[in-house]
Structure formats: C-alpha cells, structure tokens
Amino acid sequence: MTFAVHGLPVARGIAIGRAVLVVSSRIDVAHYFIKPEEIETEIDRVRTARNAVADELTKLQASVAQMGPNDAPHELAALLEVHQMLLQDEALSGGVKHWVSDRLYNAEWALTTQLEVIARQFDEMEDPYLRERKADLEQVVERMLHRMKGTAAVLAPSPPRRKRAAASHDQDDEDHDPTAGDGFDVPLVLIAHDLSPADMLQFKKSVFAGFVTDVGGRTSHTAIVARSMDIPAIVGARSASQLVRQDDWVIIDGEAGVMIVDPSPIILAEYGFKQRQGDLERGRLARLRHKPAVTLDGQRVELLANIEMPEDTAGAVKAGAVGVGLFRSEFLFMGRENSARQTRLPDEEEQYQAYTRAVEGMQGMPVTIRTIDVGADKPLDGKSASKQEHLNPALGLRAIRWSLADPAMFLTQLRAILRAAAHGEIHLLIPMLAHASEIRQTLSLIDFARAELDSRGAVYGPLKLGAMIEIPAAALTLKTFLKHFDFLSIGTNDLIQYTLAIDRADEAVAHLYDPAHPAVLKLVADTITECRRQGKGVSVCGEMAGDVAFTRLLLGLGLRSFSMHPSRILAVKQEVLRADTGKLEPWAKGVLDADDPAAALAG
C-alpha cells in the first residue's frame, strides 16, 4: 500500500531506491560495510557468538535443573528453552547471512537488521503469547551482540553497489521495480531514527542515494553533512523508521520533504521524470563552473566552500569554489572510539597532515580552518551526549569554551594548523566567542603555540585570524571583535538558534526556526555594515549562504563573500550573475524595514 511520510527537506533532489534501516539497539552497534572477501569472516563472527550464547544458556539450564522448585520456578526453565529455540532458529541465522552476503553489512548490523525483520512478524501475530516472544528474541540478540563487542572487523572503504537479488523479493515487487530487467545496480536509501555526525562521515562515500531520519532540524549537523554529500535528504520525519520495512521501495523528495513508501507505477514514473529534470538542471548549472562570479554591475563575489574532511577539497575545486571558507575540523576528531570505548584524539602530526592535505587540495587557494567545535549535537562520542542529557548542551561547554577548558588539546591543534600554514594560505577561525576575556585567552594561546614551535625550531606560516559571529552578544559588540581580528564570519545556523531560542536539531520547534526573522536579519546586516566600514573582511558561512532565497538580500546588504556546501555553489553563482547590486541595495533596506521580511523577500 502506498503512503507518504512528511518531514523537513534538508537536501534537494529525488532519490528512488530500496530502504536500508539502521535499527536502534539498547547497546551501541557499529554500522559499516565490509569487503566481499570478509563475508565468511563476518558470518563466522555471528556463528561464534551464537555458539557462545548457546553454551551460556545450556549452563544456565543445567544450573536451573539442579535447583529446587522454590529457588527456580518452572517458568524460568521454559523461558531458557524458548531462548535456545530462538537462538537456533534458521530465520535468524539465514537472514543474517543474507544481509552479510548480499548487502555487505558488518555482522552487528546484519544481526540487528534481521532482528527488526523478525520482530515485525511477531508484532503481526494474533496470539498475545506469541507477540510477547519478541522481547525474548531481543534478549537473545543482545546477548549475541555483547559477545561480539570488541571483535569488529576493520572498517572497510565504500563497497560496490549490490545487484538486486530477485529471488529474495516478492513477485509483486517486480512490478514496482524501476530497474527490473535493466541489469543496473539497485540504489539504496538510508532510513534511521537518528544519525550522528560520525555516522554520517562513515556513510559519506558509500552507496546511499538519499536518507531519512526520524529526528533533526534543517540545520542540525546531520542535515549539514547530508547537503555536503549532495544527496536528497529529509529529517524530522518522526516515525519513518517504524513505518518503513527493510527493502521497501521508497521515493525521497528532498524538495518537498516527503518520503513515499511502496509507490505505485504511476507515481514511480512521475518521480522518475522529476529526477531526470533535476539531472538536466544540474547539467545546465555545470556550464557556469568556470565563469567568474561577477554581478551585472561589475561587483566581484567570492564563493567559498564548506568542507568536513580534507578529501572534500576535490569536490570544492570541481564546483568552482575559490577557496574554503569553513573547514569544520571537529570531524577529524569524531568516530574514533576503540573496542574499549575509549576515544583517541588525533595528535599534532595527524592533524598537521590532514590540514596540509586540505591546503594542497585547494591548489593555492585559501583555506579557512575553524578550530574544533564540539558539544551540542556534535559530541566526540556517544558518552559525551548521554552524560549531558539533563542539561542544555547548546548552552554548555562547546566550541571555544571546550578548547579553553582543555589547553593542551587546543595547543596541539593550533601547532598543527600553524605548521600547515607553511604550505599555503590558511585563515584561522575561532567559533562561539562572546567575551573579551575569551578573545584574550585565545590570542594568548595562539602566541604560546608559536613560541612552542620556535623552541622546537619547527617551520610554520602566518595566519589571518578570524572570529565567528554566532552569538547575539558577539554581534552586538562588534567593535571589540574588530580590534583583534582580521575578518569575521557570520555563522547563521547558531546565530538564528541563539537569537530565537530555538534548538536547531529539534524537529518539534523546527517551524519556529526563521532565518528571515527581523532580529536575525538586523544582526546580520549590522555585522556586514560594520565590517565594511572598518575595511575588514566578512563572510556568511551558515546555511543561509547557500540558500538562493537569500542570495539577493545578502548581496543587497553588502555581502561579497559567501561560504557554502560545494553542491550549492553553482546555484548561488547563477543568482549572482543575474544580480544588480545597485538596484538590490534599496530593496534590501526595504526588506529590513518590513514588518514581515519573509513576505517582502518572496515578493
């Protein structure tokens, strides 16, 4: 039956493919793809865990048998017998083999996926007793997962797409299969309750054509990384992961924020047409790649790229970026837990190599590196997030506050960035500053890092220093900031969040997240005006920079430097090429003065 699930659109385009569910578990489960030659190893890991749990249950059964009726009720022995039966059920082991062999899932992912498949079958049973056996199955699987913990295989690079296994699907599905009989690989779309930034990085170069999550907001970091992957994505879809089954055909409409499940042939044909139209539009925009971003009245505009990893520079150059306006260095620190659940941060040499690769990847163009910005929706690991559940992490120890609280870690990063600056032009960007005392501490540590390198005789280069304006307090005390920094970068994502008191990762209040709010626009406009008055550089690096609905307004306010996801550069460039800033300036002032700026923007 065809039905639709609505959420928040965060990355445009159409994706059509089979659903891959990342199933939640009460213990942490790794999700990654393996290499084809590792299939037997992963299956053997599951088999070993199953045998170990079976032995464990056998010992428990033997001990129960020796107990008296007052010590061990009859129900306990029966329960252990049920667990043994579930453990040996071919539906469990056979299904796991299928996910490992056909989809190249790692053992844990395959096990939780098959658990979800069987659990749904239990939910549909009419007999209440049988329905309740789902809990027993979950307990058995969790026993196996605990046994497998710490024995994960090495994370493999992106796998090849898997051919559709026709025998594993109902014949009815063939009628809905847009790739049936054409020999092409089947696109896969990812469905999850939530994905951490570290999860997103693991999937970044994988086979997925799109993804949907139950939670999240338009500017949550899951959404931001989705846009950097340039694939259709929806967040805040509430119950998507409960409504979709493994291998369902789904359509993701990233423009409308709608996921269509089990689409009819007519709907498939309609969205297939839209998908082809989108491809044609991208082809037209590609012709602008080498055209300078100059307005009709001769104003040159700088279009920069936001990146997460050094390897992203290839996409930035390909999109026509003239530099990196925001390198989110925290992604180098994420997803680094070992089997003992310990997080090993990258040392100075590893960071230096990463920053140097980014500089070299941009082929002489400038790279702006933001110092580590963790906290809120970007914990370094799962423990960081859970420990702060009762607090408001967006207002807690994050970004520069985190760095100043751990000077040794901060100095390591600063030394690595300074050394990389010997290889090309690097601008250093400090996030979330609000107090003059924080500015003084930061500048002092930068000087101390230089002194440490001098004492070692290490080679390092010059840095331009910049600060992010993402807290209203910073936007209201610009003169203090401009005394100490060469440039400012407006982080509109957090600036909107803090100005409007909206958690940008919370889908429940997403409708209140308003980039066109008069207060937000005034803070942005005042920052641009003051920087231009003092001859200091200013850019916008938040999501507003890549939103073509705001390009004309920002140009009219005097902005000449935009930093965005590489996938948005050509669309924004098209707007720039059509703009006349002389005509836009009075119009932009009218938008600022309007009671309803959003309506003025649209009109």
Report how far residue 203's alpha carbon sits from residue 134's, in angstroms, rounded to the nearest whole number. Answer: 30
Among the listed residues 123, 228, 134, the one whose alpha carbon sits nearest the alpha carbon of residue 565? 228
What the block records as the tokens of 250 is 């789904």
What the block records as the tokens of 128 is 């209440």
Task: With beta carbons less than 8 A apart as the criterion, state whether 394 and 373 touch.
Answer: no
Amino acid at 256: A
Task: With beta carbons less than 8 A apart as the criterion, state whether 478 and 527 touch.
Answer: yes
Task: With beta carbons less than 8 A apart as the criterion, state whether 14 and 106 touch.
Answer: no
Tokens 């460039």 -> residue: 573
Known binding positions for Mg(2+): 470, 494
Query: What is the CB neighbour count within 10 angstroms for residue 272?
Result: 14
What the block records as the tokens of 514 is 């308003």
Report how far residue 567's alpha carbon sits from residue 305's, in angstroms, rounded to the nearest whole number. Answer: 9
Report how far residue 197's alpha carbon sits from residue 394's, in angstroms, rounded to the nearest whole number. Answer: 16
Among the listed residues 515, 513, 466, the one whose alpha carbon sits nearest the alpha carbon of residue 487? 466
Report how far residue 546's alpha carbon sits from residue 461's, in angstroms, rounded to the nearest whole number. Answer: 31
What the block records as the tokens of 357 is 């690769």
Tokens 């002489």 -> residue: 364
Report how far residue 372's alpha carbon sits from residue 345's, in angstroms, rounded to the nearest whole number. Answer: 11
Instruction: Please state whether beta strands 249-253 and 367-370 pair in parallel, antiparallel, or not at all (unpaired).
Output: unpaired
What the block records as the tokens of 576 is 């720039």
Known binding positions for phosphoenolpyruvate: 328, 370, 493-494, 504
Report how far residue 126's alpha carbon sits from residue 569's, in angstroms, rounded to the nearest whole number. Answer: 55
Calculate the CA 354 to chain-centre distance: 20
Known binding positions: 328, 370, 470, 493-494, 504
Amino acid at 568: R
Report how far residue 369's alpha carbon sits from residue 484's, in angstroms, rounded to the nearest whole number. Answer: 18
**Which run of H or E residues covers position 469?**
strand 463-469
Report how far residue 174's alpha carbon sits from residue 111's, in angstroms, rounded to the nearest whole number. Answer: 26
DSSP string, 490-542: E-HHHHHHHHHT--TT-GGGGGG--TT-HHHHHHHHHHHHHHHHTT-EEEE-S
What the block records as the tokens of 72 is 């061990």
Task: Report the b/e string of 56-76 with b at 16+ CB within 10 A.
Answer: ebeebeeebeeeeeeebeeee
Report how far residue 513's alpha carbon sits from residue 497's, in angstroms, rounded to the nearest whole number. Answer: 7
Beta-carbon-side half-sphere exposure of residue 259 (alpha carbons within 13 Å): 34
Task: Report the b/e string of 471-483 with b at 16+ CB within 10 A.
Answer: bbebbebbeebbe
HEC assignment per residue over 287-310 = CCCCCCCECCCCCECEEEEEECCH
Residues recognised as catalytic:
221, 541
